[in-house]
Amino acid sequence: MSIFSKIMRGEIPCYKIAENESCFAFLDINPKAKGHTLVIPKKEVDYLFDLEDDEYIALQKFAKKIAEAQKKAFNCKRICTAVIGYEVPHAHIHLLPSNSMADATLSGKTKTFSKEEMAEIAEQIQKYLG
């Protein structure tokens, strides 16, 4: 079972943002920006483009909702998305709040937030989810 499946099942703690019947969102533990979120399908598939079309569309629709909430929560210019997947073999979309090209990277320095701050960041995003 992937580490992300364990997170979804509550076996590993996370700062959860939201879930629906097929998708799950939580804060990245090594955030490259305040509110850096991972969106995953509940189905354990390594490579994003191996999802069936309907599963892929459901994931992107879910990601869009989270991104809209992030943008309101942090009043940033854009939510950038990235799909890498070399570290964790469970498909995931990075949602990265950004205000400039320099922010829009996963190669930058990891930001440090306390547990309380991470919980607050998750709540800030949740506040804007319908």
Among 21, 53, 54, 87, binds ligand 5GP (CB under 6 A): 87
- Stretch of 52-60, 62-70, 84-92, 97-105 contacting ligand 5GP, by CB under 6 A: 84-92
Q: Cβ of residue 62: shortest distance to ligand 5GP, in angstroms?
A: 17
14 touching ligand 5GP, by CB under 6 A: yes
CB 14 within 8 A of CB 24: no
Q: d(Cα 103, Cα 80) in Å, to the nearest integer?
A: 9
Told to judge if 36 belongs to the known catalytic residues of this protein, a careful annotator would answer: no
Q: d(Cα 3, Cα 57) in Å, to the nearest integer?
A: 23
Q: How many CB atoms lie within 10 A of CB 123?
A: 12
Q: How is residue 49 annotated by DSSP? A: G
CA distances from 106 to 24, 49, 62, 101, 110 (A): 21, 20, 21, 12, 9
- Stretch of 28-36, 55-63, 70-78, 118-126 contacting ligand 5GP, by CB under 6 A: 28-36
- Stretch of 22-30, 73-81, 95-103, 118-126 contacting ligand 5GP, by CB under 6 A: 22-30
Name which of 47 and 77 has its Cβ closer to ligand 5GP.
47
Which of 37, 33, 12 shows the shortest CA–CA distance to 23? 37
84 touching ligand 5GP, by CB under 6 A: yes
3 touching ligand 5GP, by CB under 6 A: yes
Which residues are at the interface with ligand 5GP (CB under 6 A)?
Answer: 3, 7, 12, 14, 26-30, 38, 84-88, 92
